[in-house]
Amino acid sequence: MIYDQIEKNKRNSVILIIVMSLFSMAVCYFVGVYFFDKGIIGLLIGFGIAIVSAISSYFAGDKIILKSVRAKKATQDNYQVLNDVVVEMAIASGLDKPEVYIIQDSSPNAFATGRDPEHSSIAVTDGLLRRLNRAELQGVIAHEMSHIQNRDILFVTTVSIMVGAVVIVSSIYRTSLWFGGYNRRRSNDSGGSLMAMIGLLLIIFAPLASKVIQMAISRQREYLADSNAALLTRNPKALADALKKISSTHVKSKIQNTAVNPLFISEPFSSVNVKDLFSTHPPIEKRIKKLEAMAYTKGDLMKGVASAN
């Protein structure tokens, strides 16, 4: 059950990233055709924006994120249990121990950041430490180690860059139409006018559509990290219980940076209903149900082995 879920989530993620890539290329190409009369120029603009964003995110993204949430190093002396659990899950995943940070926030949550397993960090809120027992904390840390192991931070960053490129290029196209750039070239071409109308609709809805795809990708990565965490701990119920506690604690987070939301194990609580199309996380009830199904399957398997003996 766990292995099947992991493979399914990986397939879904790959399909979504392919869809996102093709969509980004189509938007950039369309802009090139109708703004510069050459689709290749639109592709080059989109590629240039992506390269600049990628370089800055790759080398400084994790430091910016940790500073934005005011995370502090969690020393072994002050946070021994937390550091011990991180070591245990690092060993289980076969990775080096990441840097460990604490966030002074009553809302229970955690996230991982870093460009690769060798340059990674895990940050948890003190609200999380106060509410979870050791097994539940292992489940949460295993989830974050899975994000590091799967290179989800780089993955999510890549998708975010593509979304940013689509938004910027779409703005360029809308500006060109606003100032009559298209009409000057093709005002007497009825076929071209029809294509311009279709193109305009595409560009208007491009940021919205790309955002929806981005959210779908983020959700699949959460499912995948949950499944991997269950594999690392051999205890799906621990993470399920942790998610129950996290979701039942309606404490508003001090962290108001929405750009960091996709990184957290659970979308920070606010007065806004996040169970909608633009939520960066799948419904927590579905995540719990999947984990409990894994625990149920594992329990049945152990009973079968005991009966056979």
Q: For residues 224 and 13, is the Cβ–Cβ distance under 8 A?
A: yes
Structure tokens at 287: 């995540």
| Residues assigned a catalytic role | 144
Tell me the C-alpha distance between 248 and 186, whole Å. Answer: 58
Beta bridge partners of 123: 101, 111
How far is the C-alpha of 255 from the C-alpha of 159, rounded, in Å? 23
Distance CA 140, CA 86 (A): 10
Token pair, residue 178, equals 């606003």
Question: Which residue spans within 79-227 are E strands per DSSP?
Answer: 99-103, 110-116, 119-125
